[in-house]
């Protein structure tokens, strides 16, 4: 469904022509590789209080993998509230969270519309589950808070447009970023939380070089030949609790170890992101 109130781009979107110089062709052939150690996350930049008009806000940027044509993840989150609920809503003894995740139309390879599509709504539900576990909801009866995450730049490699299935794995990286940035914005807004929650992604990947699949954290789909399974975890470090777990892939059930390891690595990734988050929050005060 297209939005009639705005001037939309052409329906049949095309991919911008990528100039095919020899070098990039070669890189595309080998598709680069992971330059980081398997248990290192990418560098990230987090800052709170970027939107003065909102009650709380945060901006998160995750570095690119250092190759041309690959964009990093850029997220901005605003928190509005706590404020009174609309008159039509029933009494609530808790704060009502409403989460919106929206890709900017230009954030991904394929242009997105202004209306949220199902995958964005799905991300919003995941984000809500992750945050709901972290906030102390009964501190704010009868109030609502809106958490709006805009994905300004999605984490997508323009050169790997031919490969399939990348998009679905990108969602996990986006979600983990959303969780981290929303958590920072919530803290900035002064909404009671039991802990700082951060997102982390781990994936089981198989690379061309060696046949054995290995587990890496914070995967970039374009850096790996194939992703067999991935999980995104929202983790509360001081309580050692998981508020949201999203696993996707194809794992034999007989090998429970593999699944457990994957989750462990996801927690590890989340804990690393959390250190950045806590440090950033400390800086804003000091």
Partner 1 sequence: MASTQHVLLSPAELAYLHAALSLTPPIRPDGRAPAQFRPLIAETGILPGTNGSARICFADGTEAIVGVKAEVERTRLADGATAGTEWEEGGSARGEGEDDDGGDKAGDSDWVGLTVEIPGYRDDDAGTAFLGAMLSEALLADGAFARRLWINRRFHWKLYLDILLISPPLSYPLPLLSLTTHLALLATRLPLLKSEGDEDPFFDDDWAAARHLYPRGSGSSRTTKESARPPVTLLVMAVGNNIIFDPAKEELAVADVALAVSVAEDTAVATSTAATMDLDDAAVPAARSLRLLSIRTIDPPSRLTPPGVPNAANSAYGATTAQNQPEARTAEAEAVEGVWRAPRGGAKPLVMAALVQKVLEKGGVADEVLDALDAVDLG
Partner 2 sequence: MATSSGTTSIATPGQLLGPASKFQPGPGTHIHNSNLYSSLLGVVHASQPAKPPGPSKRLTKITVPTQTPAELPTLSVSRTGVSEKREVLPEVGNTVLCRVTRITPRQAVVAILICGDTVLEAEWQGLIRVQDVRATEKDKVKIYESFRPGDIVRAEVISLGDQANFYLSTARNELGVILATSEAGNNMYPVNWKEYMDPETGLSELRKVAKPY
List contacts with partner 2 (CB under 8 A).
49, 55, 81-85, 87, 89-92, 136, 139-143, 187-190, 192-196, 236-239, 278, 281-282, 284-286
* Token digits of residue 103: 């890709």
Q: Which of 55, 108 has the CB closer to partner 2?
A: 55
Measured CA to CA, the distance from residue 263 to residue 202 in angstroms comes to 7
- Minimum CB separation from partner 2 for residue 51, in Å? 12
- Minimum CB separation from partner 1 for residue 75, in Å? 19
- Residues at the interface with partner 1 (CB under 8 A): 15, 90, 92-94, 116, 118-119, 121-122, 124-126, 128-129, 132-134, 136-139, 141, 161-165, 168, 194-195, 231, 234-236, 239-254, 256, 259-260, 263-264, 267
Q: Which of 82, 177 has the CB closer to partner 2?
A: 82
Q: Which of 85, 104 has the CB closer to partner 2?
A: 85
CA distances from residue 115 to 11, 15, 103, 136 in whole angstroms, order as listed: 14, 21, 10, 31
Question: Which residue matches tokens 């109030």?
Answer: 143
Residues 6+ apart with CB under 8 A from 185: 48, 54, 56, 57, 58, 77, 78, 79, 147
**Could you tell which of partner 1, partner 2, none binds residue 281, using a CB distance below 5 to 8 A set by kind?**
partner 2
**Could you tell which of partner 2, partner 1, none binds residue 223, using a CB distance below 5 to 8 A set by kind?**
none
Measured CA to CA, the distance from residue 240 to residue 217 in angstroms comes to 19
**Could you tell which of partner 1, partner 2, none binds residue 12, using a CB distance below 5 to 8 A set by kind?**
none
Q: Which of 262, 281 has the CB closer to partner 2?
A: 281
Produce one character per residue of 49-88: b if its CB has 16 or more CB atoms within 10 Å, e if not.
eebeebbbbbbbbbebbeeeebbbbbbbbbbbbbeebeee
Contact 254, 141 (CB under 8 A): no
* Token digits of residue 208: 């061309």
CA 188 and chain centroid, separation: 19
**Could you tell which of partner 1, partner 2, none binds residue 28, using a CB distance below 5 to 8 A set by kind?**
none
**Could you tell which of partner 2, partner 1, none binds residue 245, using a CB distance below 5 to 8 A set by kind?**
partner 1
């Amino acid at each position: 469904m297209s939005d009639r109130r705005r001037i939309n781009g052409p329906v049949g979107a095309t991919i911008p022509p990528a100039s095919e110089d020899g070098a990039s062709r070669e890189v595309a052939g080998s598709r680069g590789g992971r330059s980081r150690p398997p248990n290192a996350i990418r560098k990230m930049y987090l800052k709170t209080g970027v939107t003065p008009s909102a009650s709380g806000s945060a901006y998160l940027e995750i570095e690119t993998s250092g190759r041309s044509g690959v964009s990093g993840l850029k997220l901005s989150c605003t928190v509005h509230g706590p404020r009174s609920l609309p008159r039509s809503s029933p009494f609530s003894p808790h704060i009502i969270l409403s989460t919106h995740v929206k890709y900017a139309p230009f954030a991904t390879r394929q242009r997105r519309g202004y209306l949220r599509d199902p995958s964005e709504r799905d991300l919003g539900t995941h984000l809500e589950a992750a945050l709901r576990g972290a906030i102390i909801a009964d501190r704010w009866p009868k109030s609502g808070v809106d958490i709006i995450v805009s994905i300004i730049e999605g984490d997508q490699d323009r050169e790997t447009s031919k490969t399939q299935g990348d998009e679905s794995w990108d969602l996990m990286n986006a979600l983990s970023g959303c969780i981290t940035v929303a958590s920072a914005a919530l803290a900035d807004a002064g909404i009671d939380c039991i802990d700082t929650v951060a997102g982390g992604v781990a994936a089981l990947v198989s690379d061309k070089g060696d046949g054995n699949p290995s587990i890496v954290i914070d995967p970039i789909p374009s850096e790996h030949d194939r992703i067999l399974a991935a999980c995104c975890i929202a983790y509360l470090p001081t309580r050692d609790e998981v508020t949201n777990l999203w696993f996707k892939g194809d794992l034999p059930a007989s090998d429970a170890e593999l699944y457990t390891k994957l989750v462990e690595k996801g927690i590890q990734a989340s804990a690393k992101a959390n250190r950045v988050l806590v440090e950033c929050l400390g800086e804003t005060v000091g």
